[in-house]
């Protein structure tokens, strides 16, 4: 059976990973500054992470959520300590799209409303509900296009309030930092105004931290830079360092009832051990502070050959707008310099989403290669 060809593939087959490096089937080593869409948060094959998974595999990989799972409870306690969300509750799923689906569903249950506010450039997933909130008509099927979604310009507080005044809005959903759009950072004042407006109109504020969470920006969640707290936070990607994990953090004003949410694989024993291992490494290796420091180093490095207004992001979630299409440059970075980077919806932006334990010499290697390509 052939594969359904929906992906554009580079002719590279990866066989091994270690830290910030991956190795292909021919033994060629590559510097990984993309981490598979920001998934690899603590490095490939981190010894603590792999040991935790191996230990759990020897005991129990999976059972359903019909029995007690103390590893889930331990994860809830640890997330409280590390994230600063000390009054929220945890519901585990298996992906970012599933996290956002459940966040929207929970908001609709809570308000009794159906309409959603989202923002230009958004990417919240590809499943039926959240694909309507994702700003990409090419992936929106007809049967999902009828969902009542209002898409406003980023930082449009006035337009947001106008819609909230209708009292028909189930939720406002926004990314802590937009990744797919090309690293678009909402204004801190705008996030603060959203928090105020959602309080006034009793509307849940959902902040999507699927790509920007778990230390990626130097804060545990990107939105915490603005000082706001969300009613629901969705997370995934770096949460499991390659193991499929997702979750939502839920304010206590949302009241649970039996059966209102559910999942088969979410919160399984192996997934929880993976996430706990990530939290261990983030803390033991002080990776949030490291991400903040290395992010500033990235911005300084890029500013040597790019205007500051073409350098976007925080921490190790960086977008470089080269002012020209980057597709061929990315290919040469891979096949000439052996460095993986990411693209974005904006065709001029290279995304850097490396493991959070990347080093300065590794980033310097990238900047030397990029400057060479820009000057050649």
Three-state DSSP class for 233? strand
The number of beta carbons lying within 10 Å of the beta carbon of residue 58 is: 8
Does this chain's domain 14-45+286-375 share its CATH topology with 48-284?
no
Task: Write down the domain spans for the chain.
Answer: 14-45+286-375, 48-284
Residue 3: C-alpha distances to residues 7, 242, 246 (Å) = 10, 22, 26
What is the fold of 48-284? 3.40.640
Report yes or no: 167 and 201 within 8 Å, Cβ to Cβ.
yes
Q: What is the pLDDT of residue 146?
A: 78
Q: What is the pLDDT of residue 376?
A: 83
Pick the CATH number of 14-45+286-375 from 1.10.3720.10, 3.90.1150.10, 3.20.20.370, 3.60.150.10: 3.90.1150.10
Phi-psi domain of 69 (left: phi exceeds 0; alpha: psi -120 through 50; beta: other): beta
Amino acid 48: pLDDT: 98
C-beta neighbour count of 334 within 10 angstroms: 16
Note the pLDDT of residue 145: 73
Q: What is the pLDDT of residues 208-233, one digit of tens each?
A: 999 999 999 999 999 999 999 999 99
Tell me the pTM: 0.97
Closest CA to 366 of 308, 310, 301, 313: 301
Closest CA to 30 of 10, 53, 14: 14
The ranges of the chain with pLDDT < 70 are: none
């Amino acid at each position: 059976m052939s594969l359904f060809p929906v992906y554009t593939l580079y002719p590279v087959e990866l066989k091994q990973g270690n830290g910030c490096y991956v190795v292909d089937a021919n033994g060629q080593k590559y510097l990984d500054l993309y981490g598979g869409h920001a998934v690899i948060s603590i490095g490939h094959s981190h010894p603590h992470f792999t040991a935790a998974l191996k230990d759990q595999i020897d005991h129990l990989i999976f059972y359903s959520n019909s029995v007690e799972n103390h590893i889930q409870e331990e994860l809830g306690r640890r997330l409280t300590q590390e994230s600063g969300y000390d009054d929220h509750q945890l519901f585990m799923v298996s992906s970012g799209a599933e996290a956002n689906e459940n966040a929207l569903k929970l908001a609709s249950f809570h308000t009794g409303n159906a309409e959603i506010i989202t923002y230009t450039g958004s990417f919240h997933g590809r499943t039926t509900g959240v694909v309507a909130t994702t700003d990409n008509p090419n992936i929106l099927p007809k049967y999902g296009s009828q969902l009542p979604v209002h898409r406003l310009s980023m930082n449009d507080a006035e337009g947001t309030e106008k819609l909230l005044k209708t009292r028909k809005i189930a939720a406002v959903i926004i990314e802590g930092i937009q990744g797919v759009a090309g690293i678009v950072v909402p204004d801190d004042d705008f996030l603060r105004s959203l928090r105020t407006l959602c309080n006034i109109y009793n509307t849940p504020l959902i902040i999507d931290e699927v790509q920007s969470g778990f230390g990626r920006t130097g804060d545990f969640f990107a939105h915490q830079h603005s000082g706001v707290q969300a009613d629901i936070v969705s997370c995934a990607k770096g949460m499991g360092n390659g193991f499929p994990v997702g979750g939502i953090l839920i304010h206590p004003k949302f009241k649970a009832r039996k059966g209102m949410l559910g999942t088969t694989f979410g919160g399984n024993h192996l997934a929880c051990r993976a996430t706990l291992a990530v939290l261990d490494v983030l803390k033991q290796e002080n990776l949030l502070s490291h991400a903040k420091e290395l992010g500033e180093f990235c911005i300084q490095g890029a500013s040597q050959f790019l205007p500051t207004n073409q350098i976007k992001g925080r921490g190790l979630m960086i977008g470089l707008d080269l002012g020209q299409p980057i597709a061929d440059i990315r290919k040469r970075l891979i096949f000439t310099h052996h460095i993986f980077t990411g693209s974005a919806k904006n065709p001029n932006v290279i995304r850097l989403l490396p493991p959070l334990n990347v080093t300065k010499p590794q980033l310097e290697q990238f900047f030397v290669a990029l400057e060479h390509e820009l000057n050649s």
